Amino acid sequence: MIKPYYDHAGITIYHGDCLEILPQLEPVDLVITSPPYNVGKEYETYLTEVEYYKFLLEVFQCLKKTLKNDGRICWNVPYQMYTKRMPHEISQWFLSAKALIGAKLKLRDNITWNQKISDNDTAWGSFCSASAPWLRHQTEAIIIGYNKQWKKGRKGITNITKQEFMKYVLDIWQMNCERQRLHPSLFPKELPLRCMKLFAYESDITLDPFMGSGTTLVAAKELGRKAIGIEIELKYVEIAVRRLAQEMLPF
């Protein structure tokens, strides 16, 4: 059994490849993550579209074995992404949903994350002209999946309020992008906070197999919940540990 890099107060971090670590984990209730996008980020190994799909499929197959029968997945990806290494648009939503279903997990729904004014894309194409305008992407998807059954097999305690519940069950979530530059692809803490409150009980275990700088674990700590993170890059593991060690988190 692989030893954790960090293990304190219900929060556990593993440093390594999630495909090697996932089979060794105890069953979990909820997965919240954003996978590598395969667009040439500094922490990514470039894959062809076919290779990337096979990678996602293998990850979902591992997650199926790690999830409890009523376990759920919140999978954050852009709807589409363009890379100069590929001569066409690749739909992150389509590839992820296809791989999820291919692993015999079930697709439940889709939440659109409206990033408001994200400034993620500043290209206009033909500015103020019909010649060749570019659409600026201000939304991403949170794919909601599950293992064998959607309804929880047991009753539990949750700390979601009535107002939060009514807000979170809408299929459009308005949240600003994260401005901290601790990781090239960082979702805001509000995203895992909402997912944990809506889709998991207080005693449930949340897993982030692509932990990055630890935002999901920071959210779990704030809620007093158990969480497991896996990250292959040591520098991001160290950042996550430092974030968790702070008493007042400014993120």
Question: What digits encode the pLDDT tens for the residues 118-131?
Answer: 555 556 777 788 88
Total tally of structural domains belonging to the chain: 1
Tell me if 250 is assigned to some domain.
Answer: no
Tell me if 79 is assigned to some domain.
Answer: yes
Tell me if 130 is assigned to some domain.
Answer: no
Tell me if 129 is assigned to some domain.
Answer: no
3-state secondary structure of 177: coil
Would you call 248 exposed, middle or buried from its count of C-beta atoms within 10 A (0-12, 13-18, 19+)? exposed
Query: To which residue do tokens 């103020």 refer?
Result: 128
Q: Give this prediction's pTM.
A: 0.90
Supply the range of the domain harboring residue 66. Answer: 6-118+136-148+156-245
pLDDT tens string 169-214: 999 999 988 766 655 557 999 999 999 999 999 999 999 999 999 9
Radius of gyration of the chain (CA): 18
For residue 194, give the nearest of 222, 229, 213 by alpha carbon: 222
The pLDDT averaged over each successive group of 10 residues in the chain (251 residues) is 94 98 97 83 69 95 98 94 60 94 98 78 72 82 98 95 98 86 74 98 98 96 97 95 74 41
Tell me if 168 is assigned to some domain.
Answer: yes
pLDDT of residue 127: 77
Q: How much of the chain, in percent, has pLDDT values that exceed 70?
A: 86
Tell me if 1 is assigned to some domain.
Answer: no
CA distances from 235 to 46, 228, 242 (A): 20, 17, 11
Quote the CA–CA distance of 84 and 87 in Å, as a whole number.
7
Tell me if 229 is assigned to some domain.
Answer: yes
Tell me if 240 is assigned to some domain.
Answer: yes
pLDDT of residue 247: 45
Residue 168 belongs to a domain with what CATH number? 3.40.50.150
